[in-house]
Amino acid sequence: MIGLWKRWKALEALGIMGINRRNADYVLKYNKRSLYPIVDDKIITKQRAIEAGIHVPEMYGVISTEKEIDKLDEIIGERTDFVIKPAQGAGGDGILVIADRFEDRYKTVSGKIVSHEEIEHQISSILTGLYSLGGHRDRALIEYRVTPDQIFKSISYEGVPDIRIIVLMGYPVMAMLRLPTRQSGGKANLHQGAIGVGVDLATGITLKGTWLNAKITKHPDTTNAVDGVQLPNWDGFMRLAAGCYELCGLGYIGVDMVLDQDKGPLILELNARPGLNIQIANDCGLTLRTHAVEAHLAQLAEQDVQESPEERVRFAQSLFGHVPNKD
Amino acid sequence: MRSLTLHLKVLITVLVTLGVLITAYQIFILGIPVTEDETDDLWNIDAKVEFVATPHEPVKVQMFVPPLNQNYVSLNESFISNNYGVSINRTGDNRKVTWSARRAKGNQTLYYRLVLTKRYSGEQLKPKGPIFRDEQIPVDGPEKIAAEALMAPIRQHSADVETFVGETIKRVNNVNDDNVKLLLGGDQSTVNKARVVDLLLSIAHVPMERVHTLRLIADQPQNPELWLRSFNGDKWLYFNPETGEQGLPADRLMWWTGDEPLVTLDGGKKIQVNFTLNNSEMNAIRLAKLTDENTDVDFLEYSLYGLPLQTQQTYQIMIMIPIGVLVILILRNLIGLQTLGTFTPVLIALAFRETQLGFGIALFTLITALGLSLRSYLEHLKLQMLPRLSVVLTFVVVLIAVISLLSHKLGLERGLSVALFPMVILTMTIERLSITWEERGAGHAMKVAIGTLFAATLAHLLMMVPQLVYFVFTFPAILLVMVGFMLAMGRYRGYRLTELFRFKAFLKD
């Protein structure tokens, strides 16, 4: 009992954010309920992003009724690789990534051969709301398949690694690189077994990682070291993430981005309830950083100044960069 | 944000205060018992009046009956008498019943029956009484001298009315004293002692009244017991005329006061009154309800006890649901237990009501396991969600029917209770569990399933505690306190217990 209390105090001193604090102080405080559809529905997110001039994977088509499933062939056309996603899916569930065509069949990114019927069943499941939050009817989204930049080949197993940056009121506070593992089935969600690797906000150099709540330094599948990798175009990612506040109006979000080998940084989706394991990946608590941002915001409010995304990135990089293990 | 916090604090304070105050009012002012086990004695007093009527003469029997303005309340009072007219009249503190008949012959028997219990509520009337008396009982000759001889030491040994009366009674009971002997005149009965005490007190102008009480003790024949009382300006002081002890024991019921005999008879002879008492115990709240009907305090009128009995039973279940929800809230937000859905455990807990806990868990596990295997088979058929769910639901119904049939054949009546086990809850549990299984793996699904069962079990056990059910049902205002707690939980930002383990990687260095 006393041990637990000490642990509580130690975690508090490190500024580790718990789910209750995240919900009460950040999600409920900064995220207006009415804006949730923008992030919960990937189609709306995409449309908003396109309007704002933010790069996203190209959308090939949307299927919203059973009847429209017939149009699948038309939407796919001659493309050999594409991704089918539920518009309101949560946690990466229900996503089908087709990497290649194989006569009349398709090959998923993990090498599994699927027939056209199976794809149609998958879309039908998506439409009935199997993967959506709360089981509502949903739409299926067919989009460009991101080809990850070669840089990730060395540390990644398969699937698309993505970059998650937590953004508070437009200020990036913490970043992590999410690498799929054999266990996660090509998905980049930590709770499914992907690993998270902390990223220094100032330089874009990777730090140590987390896998299933533990700290790690090597990828469990490739055994390559995950730290010390310079992510390319890091300032581009930071600006993209900072700009997402204007895009959706939500004050506390996780921005998921990928680095496509042809198109550069792209926004995949926004998350209004970003997970907390990013703290283990960075070996740093979120609360201290969010408090610093909130103090800065209060100061700005007094001076009646609003900062541009570039200024916000610079602020975050100067405060949270360089010595991420200590602050 | 700050104003919101203040708003919330005020709201919580108001709710909790209101809840506590209402509950305290119910407990302390209305006197509603806190536990159901509290039973109260219910006294059944029969006074049997027997006499021989004189032929050709009208008969009139007058008997004192308890005034019932003290600590007891009557639930039922009846006068059983053939061909007699009955009337009741109040004189001062007393109540008198008069039976009368134009003509009666031979042995007559009248009954007076009173069912009473301790008074639950209501303010006590402020007692009133004389504090001084003018008239002295006339006495002269040697008796006057004896009385005055006795008075001197009494005056010396007393400070106020209480000690004066006590001292007087003690002196009178000292039968070896010559003065006392003279005054008693050889008759050492209590009545006679009381008369002497009265005489002495009248000389000192101290008012005194005779009180005739009945002792509430079952199955013992008894006669009214004489007590003396005197008013000290604030309250009545009761004295035992035999010992001078002050204070009326709690089990004494005041029957009448004054010097008159219990019963008077015109037109007859050999009158005799016998008392029989017996008591039964009764659930306190039912008793309170009964007395409620006989008093003007209708505090139960607007409580849940005012509902028809069947509705009450439904509400007894319903009003416990917030308790179950509270359990889930604590388990999820404070402990960090993972459950299927938010309130599924509460629904399962309600289902356990019908099946009993052990059997319910076994059933839940069995049906869910079978349902999951069916669900995984259906997965191969690539069915859409709604048809698939329908198939699973039908399967669950069939499964429950089979279990009922089998257990019936085996002579296990328990199996029949399953019939109402909510099938939809089971179906949804199976569906959600299978999705969790597919997406998060078997380990996570097991964890969630066990978490759900654990939460349901805990909620069920709590919702079934009879004392708790009684308490919440009787004092529904306690729900306000719970809402206050829930509101406070709404802004709780500390760690969950499981997070202390989840983040333990931070503390390894």
Is B163 near chain A, with CB under 8 Å? no
Instruction: Give contacts of B336 with chain A, Cβ < 8 Å.
Output: 19
Q: How far is CA B259 from CA A284, B95, B208, in A?
A: 92, 14, 11
Which of A19, A118, A280 shows the shortest C-beta gap to B496?
A19
Residue whose C-alpha is closest to residue B474's, from B482, B483, B466: B466
Lowest mean pLDDT among A237-241, B128-132, B482-486: B128-132
Pair B108, B169 in one domain:
no
Instruction: Give contacts of B491 with chain A, Cβ < 8 Å.
Output: 24
Nearest CA of chain A to the CA of B34: how many Å? Answer: 34
Cβ of A91 within 8 Å of Cβ of B439? The answer is yes
Cβ of A125 within 8 Å of Cβ of B385? The answer is yes
Which of A282-291, B115-124, B177-186, B295-304 reaches the highest mean pLDDT? A282-291
Q: Is residue B13 part of a domain?
A: no
Confidence of residue B323 (pLDDT cuts 50, 70, 90): very high
Nearest CA of chain B to the CA of A7: how many Å? Answer: 7
Nearest CA of chain B to the CA of A258: how many Å? Answer: 23
Pair B409, B499 in one domain:
yes
Residue whose C-alpha is closest to residue A114's, from A101, A127, A124, A125: A101
Pair B495, B466 in one domain:
yes
Q: What average pLDDT score do residues B66-86 get? A: 76
pLDDT score of A53: 85
Pair B124, B138 in one domain:
no
Tell me the domain boundaries of chain A. 18-41+149-320, 58-143
Is B508 near chain A, with CB under 8 Å? yes
Confidence of residue A31 (pLDDT cuts 50, 70, 90): very high
Q: What average pLDDT score do residues A242-259 get? A: 91
pLDDT score of B461: 93
Which of B3, B439, B444, B508 is the mutation pick for testing A, counting most A CBs within 10 A?
A: B439
pLDDT score of A142: 93
Please check whether residue A313 is in contact with residue A235, taking contact to mean a CB–CB distance below 8 angstroms.
yes
- Using CB atoms and an 8 Å cut-off, which of residues 331-390 of chain B contact chain A? 333, 336, 382, 384-386
pLDDT score of A324: 43
The more confidently predicted of residues B413 and A154 is A154
pLDDT over 70 (residue A326): no
Q: Is residue B92 part of a domain?
A: yes
Task: Give the CATH H-level superfamily of domain A18-41+149-320.
Answer: ATP-grasp fold, B domain (3.30.470.20)
pLDDT over 60 (residue B297): no
Q: Which domain holds residue B422?
A: 309-503
CB-hemisphere CA count at 13 Å for B273?
21
CB-hemisphere CA count at 13 Å for A181?
24
Find where tokens 């709240």 sit: B285
Lowest mean pLDDT among A250-259, A291-300, B4-13: B4-13
**Backbone phi and psi for residue B319, each to the nearest 5 degrees, phi listed first:** -70, -15
Which of A249-258, B164-173, B175-184, B436-445 reaches the highest mean pLDDT? A249-258
Q: What average pLDDT score do residues A203-218 get? A: 87
Q: Is residue B497 part of a domain?
A: yes
Is B7 near chain A, with CB under 8 Å? no
Write out the two tokens for B253: 């019921």
pLDDT tens track for A278-287: 998 888 899 9
Write out the two tokens for B246: 């002050």
Q: Is residue B414 part of a domain?
A: yes
pLDDT over 70 (residue B119): no
Pair B315, B391 in one domain:
yes
* Chain A nearest-CA residue for B443: A192
pLDDT over 70 (residue B25): yes
pLDDT score of B292: 55
Q: Is residue B12 part of a domain?
A: no
Could you tell me if residue B219 is left (phi over 0), alpha (psi between -120 and 50 degrees) or otherwise beta? Answer: left
Q: How far is CA B50 from CA B60, B61, B273, in A?
A: 13, 10, 6
Fold category of A58-143 in CATH: Dna Ligase; domain 1 (3.30.1490)
Share of chain B above pLDDT 90, in %: 11
Nearest CA of chain B to the CA of A52: how many Å? Answer: 30
Is B44 near chain A, with CB under 8 Å? no
Cβ of B506 within 8 Å of Cβ of A214? The answer is no
Q: Taking the model in full, what pTM does it have?
A: 0.67
Pair B186, B226 in one domain:
no
Nearest CA of chain B to the CA of A120: how many Å? Answer: 10
pLDDT tens track for B403-415: 878 877 777 666 5
Is A207 near chain B, with CB under 8 Å? no
pLDDT over 80 (residue A219): yes
pLDDT score of B283: 63
Q: Quick one: CA dihedral A210, A213, A215, A221, positive or negative?
A: negative
Which of A166-175, A267-276, B174-183 reaches the highest mean pLDDT? A166-175
Which of B60-74, B332-346, B397-411 reaches the highest mean pLDDT? B332-346
Is A31 near chain B, with CB under 8 Å? no
Please check whether residue B290 is in contact with residue B121, taking contact to mean a CB–CB distance below 8 angstroms.
no
pLDDT score of B412: 67
Q: What average pLDDT score do residues A258-264 get? A: 89
Q: Is residue B30 part of a domain?
A: no
Is B497 near chain A, with CB under 8 Å? yes
Average pLDDT of chain A?
87
3-class secondary structure per residue, B387-455: HHHHHHHHHHHHHHHHHHHHHHHCCCHHHHHHHHCCHHHHHHHHHHHHHHHHHHHHHHHHHHHHHHHHH
pLDDT score of B509: 58
Write out the two tokens for B256: 């009448």
pLDDT score of B39: 65
What is the residue-wise DSSP string for B12-65? HHHHHHHHHHHHHIIIIIS---SSTT-EEEEEEEEEEEEEEEPTTS-EEEEEEE
pLDDT score of A134: 62
Lowest mean pLDDT among A281-285, B174-178, B301-305: B301-305
pLDDT tens track for A44-70: 999 999 988 888 999 999 999 989 988
- The C-alpha atoms of residue B194 and residue B238 are separated, in whole angstroms, by 13
Instruction: Give contacts of B503 with chain A, Cβ < 8 Å.
Output: 11, 16, 213, 279-280
H-state helical runs in B465-506: 466-474, 478-490, 497-502
What does the radius of gyration of chain B's CA atoms come to, in whole angstroms?
A: 36
Pair B55, B199 in one domain:
no
Last residue of a domain, one of B206, B223, B249: B206
Confidence of residue B13 (pLDDT cuts 50, 70, 90): very high
Q: What average pLDDT score do residues B294-301 get? A: 52
Pair B477, B378 in one domain:
yes
Last residue of a domain, one of B302, B337, B358: B302
ipTM score of the complex?
Answer: 0.80
Lowest mean pLDDT among B65-69, B144-148, B200-204, B417-421: B417-421
Cβ of B384 within 8 Å of Cβ of A8? The answer is no
Pair B238, B115 in one domain:
yes
Instruction: Give contacts of A24 with chain B, Cβ < 8 Å.
Output: 490-493
Please count the structural domains in chain B: 3
Pair B276, B383 in one domain:
no
pLDDT tens track for B224-238: 888 888 887 777 788
Q: How far is CA B261 from CA B84, B199, B486, in A?
A: 21, 19, 65
Confidence of residue B265 (pLDDT cuts 50, 70, 90): confident
Cβ of A18 within 8 Å of Cβ of B493? The answer is yes
pLDDT score of B400: 82
Confidence of residue B302 (pLDDT cuts 50, 70, 90): low
Is A283 near chain B, with CB under 8 Å? yes
Average pLDDT of chain B?
80
Q: What average pLDDT score do residues A189-198 get? A: 85
Q: What average pLDDT score do residues A230-258 get? A: 91
pLDDT score of A325: 44
Which of B382, B492, B500 shows the shortest C-beta gap to A20?
B492
pLDDT score of B126: 63
Confidence of residue B287 (pLDDT cuts 50, 70, 90): low
